[in-house]
Structure 1
């Protein structure tokens, strides 16, 4: 049991203490507003503006006051800051609440997505580090609590386009018409159809991977999935729903045009299962409106907390955490599942070779190994097969999995 004194009580503080002690360190805790009531022995923390000389002191800023300036908590915060030298509770809240995305100066790109370069973590050179994990681990060690080590893998796949040629009309592509003809005539496998191989490696993973399927009823520049009415597409989704957790991949315009409810309904009708998980296509979402919409539509976990244009930890945290609605000052039931790496970002944006991408993946694993973090990468079915643009990337994924599962067969 951890005994915490603070003159401050607020929904923000309750939220942070729950994430740190209940969810991460998995230890009981009790809050006292009268220092005289603190036990004389045991694990004690004083969260106040002055050091009372009682247990571990964490200096408090105004970050956890309702409506308070959470940015204040980041003074002195960083990977080298010692526990007790900055407002650790406030800094955790700043990162997890995504406070900076609500600021009037928050930068957004042409897709109306929050730009990673404007974030505190990127500007200070810490985007590639799970700082919240590091802070909580340091706090646990300062209290003498056991802390986990070794990263845990939770694979995930976005099936933006299940097939390159199959189930499409004959429209010869420049330089690839022969491949297209061979696929459509049954002489070759579709280069995007890598689901059998994915199944073969999934069987060895410690946790079942999750799949996200888009069900846009209209084709746009961003949404190129098959028609939701295509029997082959429905069968593919149904087969995966029978083996893995399956979620909705909301189309690019779905939230803004009130289409998300119908897309969720179609996925429910295809699988016969409730739809409770999501990941926004192109990581195209805004806070708080789109997360509120997910809750209204019965989504209980969202896997979109990351960036489409740069790999790294958007919330500086690797583990699931409840979403805090900053404008309503309340903790919600929506679980946020962060990701820190997507192969499309390494390939299309960072222009990495397959070898460099593997090195990048393993560097993230090393960072998460140190804090017992959760690694939830994003892969797409089309990058894991015979498409000439992705030659060598299946081996990247295999070698990455091998680092988690040494018994993975050749």
Structure 2
């Protein structure tokens, strides 16, 4: 057990240290503010304060972990052995040249998203406002990299320190905003879709639509058997997020009362974790959120404890406060919809810290590193495969969790050319098949 001395023990400090040591490195830690207890402890200890007590392992602290609320924080991003870092310690006595714990808190808490900013058309935080994007470290899980650099330094100082590392994980998450493209969508949508295709001279789509409606062909959006078979083959545990809400401007799935729809969800839930894609309306209406969650839970006869936000809508801190009030345990929205990267600087699941209340919460956040939409614009099939491989290898190096968001439409070959091959190659590389 590593004992950490600090002059003031705060919720922020506990939160940052526990993520680095307990969640990333799996090193048990305890805290003390008593000098005599620290001195009496064995060799495995460190101080986090302004000045060292003796000649111990010392990291000079930044004020951020002893502060409250949100204010102006001066940040100067520099390089630390080829990885971006900030909050320089400016101390010859500090073992680390940067306060990685304060930097960890800044990124994990999404401190920058509390600061006033211009949102996009869906009320989302734009990626180009982020520190990671501006300083070109968005595609690095810097917190995990810092943690492993710290581990190396600790093991040089304390050779007796044994660490049991967690294995790398690959987790596909399948977003299902529209379960069928043509089937069971209703007469009005069928008519309007037909005329829209005719107007644009998309005759193949017209023929496909009616081949599906007359039962001659399978609906192209119904790719669930394909996904399930692939995941079983490569021993991958996927999570499916179904939009199970009433029809609206941005929520266009078929009726929640459709027996075909309900049967399909129950069928998928027999093979994989099935959860809720929170509707656009429920984003700001907790009563609707609770209703959608209960409706899905009643259908699959299991508690729905995980969610993903439709359109990747995320507004700090209200979105996560609503999820906590609705008794949701886990969220899979922490990522950017059209950009590859680590929005919170980590590939390790963490817990939401509410800066307004100055306390950690029980809501587990699972960072999503990329989406099919973000990758689609890269180039040809091989370039996309190469990019996915590089992302996965970065996460493997720090024993993280590679959460890859796809859609049920991703395997439609005529719309997503080459993506079946891309996904199979990804599963072959990062799945568990022996």
Note whether the superposition's TM-score is higher than 0.5. Answer: yes
Counterpart in the other structure of 2:245: 216
Deviates more, 1:75-84 or 1:21-30: 75-84
Deviates more, 1:25-34 or 1:191-200: 25-34
Q: 1:162 pairs with 159, 166, 179, which one?
A: 179
- Partners of 1:73 and 1:86 within 8 A in 2: no
Q: Does residue 1:254 correspond to 2:282, yes or no? A: yes
How far 1:240 sits from its partner (Å)?
1.8
Superposition pairs for residues 210-359 of structure 1, below 5 Å?
Answer: 210-220=239-249, 222-258=250-286, 259-347=288-376, 350=377, 352-359=379-386
| Distance (whole Å) between structure 1 residues aligned to residue 57 and residue 78 of structure 2 | 18
How far 1:242 sits from its partner (Å)?
2.5
The CA RMSD over aligned residues, in Å, is 2.2
Q: 2:119 pairs with 86, 108, 113, which one?
A: 108
Counterpart in the other structure of 2:412: 385
Structure 2: any 5+ residue segments left out of the alignment?
89-94, 156-160
| Distance (whole Å) between structure 1 residues aligned to residue 336 and residue 142 of structure 2 | 16
| Distance (whole Å) between structure 2 residues aligned to residue 43 and residue 77 of structure 1 | 28
Number of aligned residue pairs: 403
Indicate how the Cα distance of structure 1 residues 300 and 16 shifts in structure 2: closer, same or farther if over 3 A, else same: same
- Partners of 2:4 and 2:47 within 8 A in 1: yes
Superposition pairs for residues 20-99 of structure 1, below 5 Å?
Answer: 20-38=20-38, 39=40, 41-67=42-68, 71-72=73-74, 76=78, 79=83, 84-99=96-111
Q: Deviations over 1:235-263 (max 9, x none)?
A: 11111222222111111121224421221
Indicate how the Cα distance of structure 1 residues 207 and 7 shifts in structure 2: closer, same or farther if over 3 A, else same: farther
| Distance (whole Å) between structure 2 residues aligned to residue 128 and residue 71 of structure 1 | 23
Structure 1: any 5+ residue segments left out of the alignment?
none
| Distance (whole Å) between structure 2 residues aligned to residue 17 and residue 262 of structure 1 | 37
How far 1:161 sits from its partner (Å)?
1.4
| Distance (whole Å) between structure 2 residues aligned to residue 401 and residue 47 of structure 1 | 42
How far 1:351 sits from its partner (Å)?
5.4
How far 1:153 sits from its partner (Å)?
0.5
How far 1:207 sits from its partner (Å)?
4.6
How far 1:310 sits from its partner (Å)?
1.2
Q: Deviations over 1:38-91 (max 9, x none)?
A: 246422222112244533221201110141658457665761559610111111
- Partners of 1:216 and 1:223 within 8 A in 2: yes
How far 1:376 sits from its partner (Å)?
0.5
How far 1:286 sits from its partner (Å)?
0.6
| Distance (whole Å) between structure 1 residues aligned to residue 145 and residue 331 of structure 2 | 23
| Distance (whole Å) between structure 2 residues aligned to residue 233 and residue 208 of structure 1 | 22
| Distance (whole Å) between structure 2 residues aligned to residue 355 and residue 26 of structure 1 | 36
Indicate how the Cα distance of structure 1 residues 332 and 257 shifts in structure 2: closer, same or farther if over 3 A, else same: closer
- Partners of 2:350 and 2:365 within 8 A in 1: yes
Indicate how the Cα distance of structure 1 residues 342 and 189 shifts in structure 2: closer, same or farther if over 3 A, else same: same
When Rg is computed on C-alpha atoms for both structures, the one with the higher figure is 2
Indicate how the Cα distance of structure 1 residues 240 and 74 shifts in structure 2: closer, same or farther if over 3 A, else same: farther
- Secondary structure at the aligned position of 2:374 is classed as helix
- Partners of 1:305 and 1:315 within 8 A in 2: yes
Deviates more, 1:51-60 or 1:273-282: 51-60
Indicate how the Cα distance of structure 1 residues 257 and 32 shifts in structure 2: closer, same or farther if over 3 A, else same: closer
| Distance (whole Å) between structure 2 residues aligned to residue 371 and residue 318 of structure 1 | 8
- Secondary structure at the aligned position of 2:133 is classed as helix
What is the TM-score normalised by the length of structure 2? 0.87
| Distance (whole Å) between structure 2 residues aligned to residue 71 and residue 257 of structure 1 | 33
Q: Does residue 1:186 correspond to 2:215, yes or no? A: yes
